[in-house]
């Protein structure tokens, strides 16, 4: 008599992976980094941003290894992933500390710190570090990116073009992050979503470029300086267009 095959009811049920999709998450973080990079211009600020990016890579790699739950060179993947995550978190904390202490001028510290903290919060939402809080963390992270843009406009007096590009990059980071969360919840993280997310990102980028060109057109009409209120109104208008595109 041969042993009977295990019943399907006895097999462990594999839960679907509904975390945010990888392509959209990568694009969202890249847009967030671009938003911060557009505002900075001192070596100390660049140093802090590069350390932050290295920390993000380490944390993402560690989280992926921990989730894979396989063995890497004989060591448990969870241990390797944990070590990578600790190194990455330390680099991110170092980057924020550098942003708060190294730039000689206070205005350079004030315009950089919110963006670096925002990138860390955005990453926490896209991994995610806590299921069910993805949208909250993505929104909070991109809001901090936007605070960095506004702070740069107030304390540093960045040019209109720089503020618009950095603001639109922050809006793109939010839009791409939201899209990654939505697609992950609908079709799962393992689904092939590259084409859909690239098309969506391209459409959002086109809307942003249109808003940027419209602002430059207004500037050529003789409005040489745009007030903070006007700048905010333009960004809100761009955000409304992006929301309309998502429907």
Tokens standing for 46? 């660049």
Whether 1 shows a pLDDT value over 50: the answer reads no
> What's residue 25's pLDDT?
93
Query: Would you state the torsion angle of the CA atoms of residues 33, 36, 40, 45, taken in this order, to the nearest 10 degrees?
Result: -70
Question: Domain spans of the chain?
Answer: 22-217
| Spatial separation of the C-alpha atoms in residues 145 and 129, rounded to whole Å | 19
- The residue that leads in pLDDT, 160 or 47, is 47
User: Does the pLDDT of residue 22 top 60, yes or no?
Assistant: yes
Strand 75-76 to 71-72 pairing: antiparallel
Residue 60: the pLDDT is 92
The average pLDDT across 57-75 equals 76
pLDDT at residue 2 in the model: 45
Looking at residue 210, what is its pLDDT? 77
Report which of residues 39 and 74 the model is more confident about. 39
């Amino acid at each position: 008599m041969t042993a009977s095959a295990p019943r399907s009811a006895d097999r462990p049920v594999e839960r679907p992976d509904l975390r945010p999709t990888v392509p959209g998450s990568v694009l969202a973080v890249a847009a967030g980094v671009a938003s911060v990079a557009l505002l900075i211009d001192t070596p100390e600020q660049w140093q802090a941003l590069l350390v932050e990016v290295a920390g993000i890579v380490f944390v993402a790699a560690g989280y992926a290894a921990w989730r894979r739950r396989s063995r890497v060179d004989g060591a448990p993947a969870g241990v390797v992933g944990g070590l990578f995550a600790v190194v990455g978190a330390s680099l991110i904390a170092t980057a924020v500390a550098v942003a708060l202490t190294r730039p000689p001028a206070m205005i350079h510290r004030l315009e950089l710190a919110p963006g670096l903290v925002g990138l860390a919060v955005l990453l926490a939402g896209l991994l995610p570090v806590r299921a069910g809080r993805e949208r909250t963390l993505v929104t909070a992270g991109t809001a901090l990116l936007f605070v960095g843009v506004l702070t740069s406009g107030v304390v540093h007096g960045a040019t209109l073009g720089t503020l618009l590009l950095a603001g639109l990059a922050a809006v793109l980071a939010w839009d791409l992050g939201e899209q990654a969360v939505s697609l992950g919840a609908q079709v799962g993280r393992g689904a092939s979503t590259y084409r859909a997310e690239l098309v969506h990102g391209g459409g959002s980028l086109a809307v942003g470029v249109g808003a940027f060109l419209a602002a430059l057109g207004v500037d050529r009409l003789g409005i040489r300086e745009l007030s903070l209120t006007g700048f905010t109104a333009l960004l809100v208008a761009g955000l409304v267009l992006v929301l309309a595109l998502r429907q």
